[in-house]
Amino acid sequence: MSVLEALSRLYSQMGFANVTWQMGLMIVIAFVLIYLAVVKKFEPLLLLPIAFGVLLANMPAPDWIPAGLREVLSAAELDKLPTSSLMAPPVYATAEGVLTLAPTATTVQTGGLLYYLYQGVKLSIFPPLIFLGIGCMTDFGPLIARPQSLLLGAAAQLGVFVAFIFAVALGFSGGEAASIGIIGGADGPTAIFTTTALAPHLLAPIAIAAYSYMALIPVIQKPLMKLLTTKKERGVVMENLREVSKKEKIIFPIAVTVLVAFLLPAALPLVGMLMLGNLFRESGVVPRLTQTASNELINIITIFLGITVGATAAANTFLTVQTLQIIALGVFAFSFGTIGGLLLGKVMYRLSGGKINPLIGSAGVSAVPMAARVSQEMGQKENPNNFLLMHAMGPNIAGVLGSAVAAGVFLALFGS
């Protein structure tokens, strides 16, 4: 091999020889997401690993696809394969020596690191485990003390179904539209769980849209809260919630699990794990399990979930018209979710004789506890003596249940 040939071969293995403008654009998008996570602190726990996953997925690298496999796959099949070797699936050989992606006895080439971690997303393992940790960290007391908060959480799911209808009108299939609609639930793990089951090819844009808009909840909600409520309504000081007994807190997760199992089994993986985590917390008999699930376990799963979801955002599949439509529909979903909660909050304000502050309705979009904090900020801005946080936590927690139930409805209707 001559020096010129050696240099040419070396250059062909460099990223410079394999980069495309699409990859360059995705790298810029990754930088923007990293900036939002690190500098603006927009949902950094998940946005940062997602952003780095996007970066890894779009790093120019030598072609990992063996020549023999390229010969047997169609152009459409090749286009769907990841460009990054980190997300490359394993390659097998049949008894006749033909290369294939279908599992056979002989492995010719192992998959990439992130491909194997991604199986936790693909097999719907990570989102329920995230819910287990959330359950360990959640106090359902405000919801139990004011059960009507469930109605506010349900009303805030308006965004889910409005976005679903718009998505169908734009030509998305039922499963795709359902996955897009769940963005309005403001619950990232639920969006990932639903999309993995109904529209896995849309996972990257839906997950990134869901977590990006969750981080932008103060920006999206505050103008709508000012528009739809009066100064008098925003200044309403609510009475203190009653004290909830330990017995009630222990019975609640058990009762919810049984009820969901009988009414909507498709939602049980999410709701069941959420309630198990909460039972760990409220029973007080398994502090080590509670500590592990709410700290070490949820942190590890968050890293794996974020980086692998981000790694699905390869330039060849992410930069499409569908992605732009999903991002636009995400805004509709969050906005109408907020509107639904606020409107029912105004109804409750009237029916209660002015004792319920309608601002707590906007917290029904889930995103615990950010949405509740926004309600608190808006209420205190009008009246410094107004403390809405605990009142808003009821609808906020109800929103978590509401989004899981909405996901269960979609899975029952469009799942295989």
Quick check: 1 pLDDT over 70?
no
pTM for the whole structure: 0.89
Burial class (CB in 10 A: 0-12, 13-18, 19+), 21: exposed
The string of pLDDT tens digits covering residues 191-231 is: 999 999 999 989 989 988 888 777 778 888 999 999 999 99
Grade residue 349 by pLDDT with cuts at 50, 70 and 90.
Answer: very high
- Cβ within 8 Å of residue 282, ≥6 positions away: 140, 246, 249, 250, 252, 253
Predicted local distance difference test score (pLDDT) of residue 15: 61
Average pLDDT estimate for 227-245 = 92
Classify 366 in phi/psi space as left (phi over 0), alpha (psi -120 to 50) or beta.
left
Percent of the chain with pLDDT over 90: 62
The string of pLDDT tens digits covering residues 28-83 is: 999 998 998 899 887 788 889 999 999 998 988 777 888 888 888 888 888 888 88
